[in-house]
Amino acid sequence: MHNKDEDDITHFGFQNVYKCEKTSLVSNIFRLVASKYDLMNDLMSFGIHRVWKRCMVYHSGVYVGCKVLDLAGGTGDLSIQFSRLVGDTGIVVLVDINDSMLHIGRKKIRNLGIINNVIYIQADAEFLPFPENTFDCVAVSFGLRNFTNKEQALFSIHRVLKSRGKLLILDFGVPTFKLLNIIYDLYSFHILPKMGECIAKDTNSYRYLVESIRMHPDQETLKDMIIQIGFKNVKYFNMTGGIAVLHCAYKY
């Protein structure tokens, strides 16, 4: 492989693919899993993803009147919680690249009677279609690891955050102790794809989800990446023994 080719290659789970292909491959995965996404999230995490997301919203510091970006917001779990915090004078913008996920999110949110303060935009995290200094908070839950160019997405987030605005990233991490790591590996590689096969009739998409978790940077590497972009006061909190991690940072 020539150097130029190596520069053009990225990972899609454990496979190497051309960077220009990855976004649409990821989008196809979420189109396939969209209708079962919420059910599978609850089953695969035993409902714990709800606790992680509550913790994220708790750390957001969002209050009445804030403008919040729920980036890669999918079926809208965070948007629902943020819409209650920002009230009628604030706004939550749910951005996702995938129309199927957005459609399910919009339906779920509207069925809860939330109509006035959430808007929905289909866009790529790497090229956010907002002016500079727009949002008080940008939250990305379980989205970053799917982006083709994470640095580009972080630059794009930095641009649209207001000065003193807060970035929150919730994603999977590396478990902090060995036994948990072994159990987690067994569960991820042997049980999760089977659950995907039985419930969603789709082994490959769930195998990608597991592989993409393993290819995601560990806690310290992601922290360094966020610092390199120019964010300040970067911290992270391990949850459930490091299976999930919340990174918090500010734009000054």
Write out the residues near ligand SAM by the rule CB under 6 A.
Answer: 23, 26, 30, 72-75, 77, 96-98, 101, 124-126, 141-143, 146-147
Nearer CB in complex with ligand SAM: 10/146: 146
DSSP 187: I
240 near 180, Cβ under 8 Å?
no
Nearer CB in complex with ligand SAM: 75/83: 75
Minimal distance in Å, beta carbon 94 to ligand SAM? 9
247/173 Cα distance (integer angstroms): 10
Nearer CB in complex with ligand SAM: 13/143: 143
Mark residue 233 as left, alpha or beta (left: phi above 0; alpha: psi -120 to 50; beta: remaining).
left
Nearer CB in complex with ligand SAM: 89/153: 153
Minimal distance in Å, beta carbon 202 to ligand SAM? 14
Minimal distance in Å, beta carbon 164 to ligand SAM? 24
Minimal distance in Å, beta carbon 205 to ligand SAM? 11
**Residue (of 219, 67, 198, 218) closest to 130 by Cα position:** 67
Nearest residue to ligand SAM, using CB?
74
Calculate the CA dihedral of residues 153, 54, 137, 75 and round it to 10 degrees. 50
203 near 174, Cβ under 8 Å?
no
Nearer CB in complex with ligand SAM: 96/136: 96
- Tokens coding 57: 């919203």
